[in-house]
Structure 1
């Protein structure tokens, strides 16, 4: 209790000397602002005086003017802010805080650290207030807390750049490892050789969209890929299912891997031979690093939180599948749905980069896509999906209904319509509806 009282008597985290040093370094060498601006904005300063001074420097920069002492003083005078920042004498005194502009980055990071701590304090105070407000549910408090912390995390990720010299050696090490593996794919292999030959596997930090009309086999294709990655390649894989239960997914997995008609599995109409194959397949599935997330009506923040957990020890997931993107609930239900999808799309793209893994999301196509080969314009509800995605693929076949003759393989095209860093093209597949799985034409033959 005493510690809580002591906290109330403390000023929020700040470092006035570092703030003065940053401003002084800019006034000594106005070119320093070019390097400080990606690190700090005006709100990072604790002192209202310093916020106004830094804002004025930013405004001068947008006018292509460099803010030395005289120019800054004149500008503040012209906007009637000079007295509010302490006058011309205070502006001039800032250069006395630092002997040179050399250590500007060190001072800027001190200012940023204090700003992040102040923002964390604001968030914690808001959470504390909400906890005692009976009109706010605990679920809402948790969601708002997650969102606030996530926003702080994103704000702390300032833009960075590297020289070629810094990137060349890590790149060479990767190429050396691939050379030793005799031409292995650079990314996570999908299991479909013709596709992997074009993409070199699903690449780290890429956001991948797989689109199709209803009942064409989006989930079956994603599960076929995910099962290959987790079971055959032994690469830790996560599958977020917003439409089907985890038990339904496992039944599909058993049918596809054991080559048993999925209807017989659902109806438990299994022969002794079938059950032996089921038991053997379950043994393989049991050992696989495959994680199912069954959560209908999943919120975006929940998805991000679970993904971060799965990509950390002991799970160490290397690829995520999401079935499917338009079932994710956005954070602001009051905005139009296409704006929510745009927010979700940007967030998943950001998640792929943050975790440095491929994120594969399924998407329903508009009804306009029926009866023709799908294209990039057919992605449902938001053009931002196509813009944000590094890779866009479409499943297409002439006959969507599989009820006529489920024993007959159905020719299906996997259209690679967009690949930011590689070729596009079409991969012929066969859909085995009785097993709810896809194979290449070569394998079927």
Structure 2
């Protein structure tokens, strides 16, 4: 065959399509093995699409599919000729010896359909790229969505009986029993919180809320210090408010325990500088990846998060903070935009199968009092979409000289947790290093 002609024909395998349909007609029960993942549009031949679509209708009606019932149904719908005619229907069972290999035949059909979809998507992406009326960011997001959707193509729905459920659940319980000193998720380093949550869990969206200057960023960085620097677990951080240089200074202050104002002013002793160098050595090889784009578009954030997971192996993502994420629908009311963001972050956590931790401001009337779920700023959908909601609470105390108290009592209030208890976690806030730590009684 001429190579140019070959390249112009979309990928397909008519033999596999006929074998799949013939296997169903030989053994009607075999349709249940493929109907959960194979769709009519996966067939390349139009007549095979019509035949399979009709077989699915028969299956759904509880009618046994064979050559006679199939032919009658096609005739009733005036589709027999479109499906190739009676002779073609009768010939289907001649091409396959048994229904034993229907799963193999069906997956060959699915493979060719996937390849055709890839070609179609590539053409659409190319056409969109030439459309100068569209933003390139929007084209990239659309392309990524289409490609990722293909990974779900042909996903088989599984039925789990109680033998499998009990066996697997028992294995998990015994693993927890023999490893009771470990966590099922990613521990953040705050002992009491990790005991309550068993660490940040895959596919879950956690929200950390507080009034401005209560230490939202400090809380995230304190958690990331333990996760990325101490445990060497790859961690992504979207800083929409602070530059990566500022984040770097915060981290070195935390790790070295040199006050941030000394680092910024340069008023350090030689011993302080040595501690900074030692801290830099610890931080240098830590798998912490920072994006510091202000007012980042939601679609850009999602795209970058996917890349972090794929190229850097990131296991958890922090976002500082929800209120600074932009949506394409900027003219919509704030509550609608926040709702879109929270739903998108939850779906992102499920798609990437990692924890997503997002910071959020609470309403002004929370000043001086312990925040509540009703005070989450922007939309009630944050509370609805989040699996865990925590609030930072501490007093804005000052010493007699007017300086901030270097060590303050602080509280992390777990106000919501779908799969665990709620309650308070007592911490210390070290204002000189803008860092949270366990209280001695909690360790």
TM-score normalised by structure 2 residue count: 0.81
SS of equivalent to 2:120: helix
CA distance in 1 between partners of 2:175 and 2:440 (Å)? 32
- Give the counterpart of 1:362 among 359, 362, 369: 359
CA distance in 2 between partners of 1:220 and 1:16 (Å)? 61
SS of equivalent to 1:85: coil
CA distance in 1 between partners of 2:234 and 2:406 (Å)? 33
Give matches, 1:68-147, under 5 Å.
Answer: 68-133=66-131, 141-147=139-145
Label 1:137 to 1:303 Cα distance change in 2 as closer, same or farther (>3 A).
Answer: closer
Cα RMSD over matched residues? 3.9
1:217-262 deviation per Cα after TM superposition (whole angstroms, max 9, x unaligned): 2221111001111222233322222222111111211222233333
The aligned residue for residue 318 of structure 1 is 315
Native 8 Å contact 1:366 1:380 kept in 2: yes
1:32-68 deviation per Cα after TM superposition (whole angstroms, max 9, x unaligned): 3433233122222222223333333444555555544
Give matches, 1:153-302, under 5 Å.
Answer: 153-155=151-153, 157-160=155-158, 172=171, 179=178, 183-300=181-298, 302=300
- Give the counterpart of 2:15 among 14, 17, 20: 17
Native 8 Å contact 1:352 1:359 kept in 2: no
CA distance in 1 between partners of 2:436 and 2:328 (Å)? 35
CA distance in 1 between partners of 2:115 and 2:13 (Å)? 12
1:192-215 deviation per Cα after TM superposition (whole angstroms, max 9, x unaligned): 011111222223444433333443
The aligned residue for residue 347 of structure 1 is 347
TM-score normalised by structure 1 residue count: 0.81
Label 1:116 to 1:171 Cα distance change in 2 as closer, same or farther (>3 A).
Answer: farther
The aligned residue for residue 388 of structure 2 is 392
CA distance in 2 between partners of 1:79 and 1:380 (Å)? 56
**Displacement of 1:406:** 2.0
Label 1:301 to 1:193 Cα distance change in 2 as closer, same or farther (>3 A).
Answer: same
Native 8 Å contact 2:306 2:352 kept in 1: no
Native 8 Å contact 2:329 2:337 kept in 1: no
Give matches, 1:45-84, under 5 Å.
Answer: 45-63=43-61, 65=63, 67-84=65-82
SS of equivalent to 2:193: helix
Query: Which deviates more, 334-343 or 106-115?
Result: 334-343
Native 8 Å contact 2:244 2:290 kept in 1: yes
SS of equivalent to 1:243: coil
Aligned length: 436
